[in-house]
Amino acid sequence: MNGLRGLKLLIIALTMILVISAITPPAQAQPISAKRIVEVNQYGLVYVYDEVPRTGGLTKISFPREMLANLVNYRSPEDPNPELKEDRDVFSIIVHSRSGDFVHLVTIFRDVVRWDAMNARFMLRMSLNPILDEKVGEFSIIVKLPSDAKPSRISPNYISEKKEGILSGNTSRIDLTERRPQTLSIDFTSDKLNLLDITDVDAEYSLPDGFVKLGFRFRNVGGKGLSRISFKLPENCSDIRAEDQLGKLLSSYYPKVRSLDVTLRQQVGVGERGSVSIYFKLPADNPYVKVSDNKFRVSPILPINTTVRRYGVKLLLRSMEFVSSDPEPVELVRVYPESIKLTYIFDHMDPFNAENSTIILEYKPLFSIFGFMPYIWVGAILAVALAAVTCIYLKRPRIALSKVDLSMRRLVEEADSLTASYQDLTSLITSGRIVEKGYVRPRILDLRASIRRHGDKISAIASDLMKSSPELRDLMASLRNSVRRLEQSVEELWVMVHRYLSGRIGRSAFEKRVDRHYKLLKRAYGEFADAVEELRERTK
């Protein structure tokens, strides 16, 4: 009897559960969402962080095609090499990902914040949302402006300021698959923001001691007058200072945040240009200059969060012989005594690609005489004293040469030095060793620099003589023009060699081009030799 009653109670309980389940609506699934964060940094660069639902192995995040001109770079934590694809009305960044519910993408844009000079305000204009292949239930956006920003116009209207410098909003009434997205439009003022265009950076690394000089040339594109610039230096730097063309500048360094704040000598107004150089010494253990097995691995340092149109790197090697490098240097100059300066040029630098623009340089240590310099100085002083005594007692009449005669003799000496370098250069071609990459690389850079150095001196002396001695005008003009043509021919040969060393042309094509150019090179030298021969006749 009790068992039957228990069974009835169980049936009643199950029936009630089924009834309640039937009349209770099921819990709604969390809507699929997409998020975007737009951040404007203090020099006008705009970072866009997108979080979107993953769609299989490939997730496409698109932008209006007109924004491609403003794109600086992009990166995704899920894919080390996202793919950029252009269509008729959009460009897309395709992220490969096999796990997780969401895909993340960081894109950098420039010139999407503009300066309205008439109203003294900034204007942010860009696409409000990412363009996706699938619809989402909700979209949210956060906009981070400088902390002192005061917005005067915000569109769309569901975005509002939550606290100083931060605006946000969300909506479910938006279709992210539309090819023409809404526009994010914000007008605001800020004293902390300056639109800075850094046109050039000239970096000099002294190896192996680790001293670095970074010279910046820039233009203030928008905002109030620029009076200070902040740089973020590598960790544990020392010997820090800042200068401009007139000398030392006032600066403050804060080690905890690695920030170097430099006060400019005078305010740089909108449309005006300025320059500043910072100096520091890297610690022995740093990620920018690494050395092992007679190889340096040098990475450019970009201590300011913006883009650079041209980034030049000069490596000064002390007591070392250059062997090879990747990429190839555009110039090699010997700085006596016992130093070599190598020059490299990067066309574009930004916060993402700076760490990938690495120079790998192989060198050979040289014996240095500088440890014996105190003894050499003592010997030199004794030699000078002995020579002075000798001159006093052995005076001989000397023939005084005129200034023109001295200049003519200097021309002959420089021409002889240039000829020696030219002969060494042509021997690389005639011997066939110009195709040996390891052999020709350091030699042709050295010879190219030597010919340019002597050619520049010849041109300078010839120009002075054209002004001071009209009777020599035709000869000096002929000499100057011929040396310029010779320098140009050598430069054209270097371009061929550089393309060969960089792997852009094969050995067979390179040999054919060198053979053809050798005739032009000999013709250019023949014109120079004729002018030098006439010069010798005049100096007899």
3-state secondary structure 91-129: EEEEEECCCCCEEEEEEEECCCEEEECCCCEEEEEEECC
Rounded Cα–Cα distance for residues 298 and 280 (Å): 16
> Looking at the structure, do residues 157 and 252 belong to the same domain, yes or no?
no
Residue whose C-alpha is closest to residue 48's, from 74, 68, 87: 74
From 158, 189, 220, give the residue that closes a domain: 189
What distances in angstroms separate CA 207 from CA 290, 315, 530, one per listed residue?
Answer: 10, 7, 43
**pLDDT level of residue 534 (50, 70, 90 thresholds):** confident
* Residue 15 covered by a domain: no
Quote the pLDDT of residue 367: 55
> Looking at the structure, do residues 236 and 349 belong to the same domain, yes or no?
yes
Residue whose C-alpha is closest to residue 40's, from 149, 164, 129, 199: 149
Quote the pLDDT of residue 413: 87
* Residue 385 covered by a domain: no
**pLDDT level of residue 539 (50, 70, 90 thresholds):** confident
Domain at 267, CATH number: 2.60.40.1730
- In single-letter form, the type of residue at position 269 comes to G
- Say how many C-beta atoms besides its own lie within 10 A of residue 489's C-beta: 20
> Looking at the structure, do residues 226 and 297 belong to the same domain, yes or no?
yes
- Do the beta carbons of residue 196 and residue 43 sit within 8 Å? yes
Quote the pLDDT of residue 402: 72
* Residue 370 covered by a domain: no
Domain at 73, CATH number: 2.60.40.3650
Rounded Cα–Cα distance for residues 538 and 514 (Å): 36
Quote the pLDDT of residue 390: 61
Q: b/e for 307-341, b at 16 or more Cβ within 10 A?
A: bbeebbbbbbbbbbebebbeebbeebbeeeebebb
> Looking at the structure, do residues 109 and 239 belong to the same domain, yes or no?
no
Quote the pLDDT of residue 379: 65
When the pLDDT of each residue in the chain is averaged and rounded to a whole number, the result is 86
Q: Give the pLDDT confidence of 120-177 residue by residue, as tens digits.
A: 999 999 999 999 998 898 999 999 999 999 999 999 999 999 889 999 999 988 899 9
Quote the pLDDT of residue 438: 77
- Encoded tokens for 377: 């100085």
| % of the chain beyond a pLDDT of 70 | 88
Q: Give the pLDDT confidence of 452-503 residue by residue, as tens digits.
A: 888 898 998 888 888 888 888 888 888 889 989 999 999 899 888 888 888 8
pLDDT for 397 beyond 80: no
> Looking at the structure, do residues 279 and 175 belong to the same domain, yes or no?
no
Rounded Cα–Cα distance for residues 204 and 306 (Å): 20
DSSP letters spanning 479-509: HHHHHHHHHHHHHHHHHHHHHHHTTSS-HHH
* Residue 298 covered by a domain: yes
Quote the pLDDT of residue 378: 61
Q: Give the pLDDT confidence of 192-220 residue by residue, as tens digits.
A: 999 999 999 999 999 989 999 999 999 99
DSSP 4: H
pLDDT (average), residues 512-519: 90
Range of the domain at 302: 194-365
- Encoded tokens for 95: 């992220």
Read off φ and ψ for residue 207, nearest 5 degrees: -115, 135
Element (DSSP H or E) covering residue 247? strand 247-248
Q: How many domains does the chain have?
A: 3
**pLDDT level of residue 533 (50, 70, 90 thresholds):** confident
For 429, residues 6+ apart whose C-beta sits below 8 A from its C-beta are 514, 518
- Encoded tokens for 249: 């500048």
For β-strands 166-171 and 138-144, DSSP reports them as antiparallel
DSSP letters spanning 53-66: E--TTEEEEEEEGG
Residue whose C-alpha is closest to residue 307's, from 195, 156, 432, 437: 195
Q: Give the pLDDT confidence of 35-54 residue by residue, as tens digits.
A: 999 999 999 999 999 999 99
Rounded Cα–Cα distance for residues 445 and 473 (Å): 33
From 161, 189, 217, give the residue that closes a domain: 189
Quote the pLDDT of residue 205: 96
> Looking at the structure, do residues 183 and 281 belong to the same domain, yes or no?
no
* Residue 233 covered by a domain: yes
* Dihedral in degrees, nearest 10, Cα atoms 321, 497, 354, 360: -30
> Looking at the structure, do residues 106 and 199 belong to the same domain, yes or no?
no
Query: Can you give the C-alpha Rg of the chain in angstroms?
Result: 34
Element (DSSP H or E) covering residue 332? strand 331-335
Residue whose C-alpha is closest to residue 268's, from 200, 198, 219: 219
- Encoded tokens for 422: 């030219």
pLDDT for 315 beyond 90: yes
Instruction: Look at 267 and 4; give whichever has higher pLDDT.
Output: 267
Quote the pLDDT of residue 396: 46
* Residue 158 covered by a domain: yes
* Residue 376 covered by a domain: no
> Looking at the structure, do residues 338 and 199 belong to the same domain, yes or no?
yes
Element (DSSP H or E) covering residue 378? helix 373-393
Quote the pLDDT of residue 74: 94
Quote the pLDDT of residue 27: 42
* Residue 24 covered by a domain: no
From 317, 347, 365, give the residue that closes a domain: 365
> Looking at the structure, do residues 183 and 291 belong to the same domain, yes or no?
no
Rounded Cα–Cα distance for residues 349 and 235 (Å): 21
DSSP 458: H
> Looking at the structure, do residues 304 and 208 belong to the same domain, yes or no?
yes
Q: b/e for 46-67, b at 16 or more Cβ within 10 A?
A: bbbebbbbbeeeebbbbbbeeb
> Looking at the structure, do residues 454 and 312 belong to the same domain, yes or no?
no
**pLDDT level of residue 391 (50, 70, 90 thresholds):** low
Q: Give the pLDDT confidence of 413-444 residue by residue, as tens digits.
A: 888 888 888 888 888 888 888 888 878 877 88
> Looking at the structure, do residues 249 and 306 belong to the same domain, yes or no?
yes
Quote the pLDDT of residue 398: 47
Residue whose C-alpha is closest to residue 489's, from 458, 442, 528, 535: 528
Quote the pLDDT of residue 401: 53
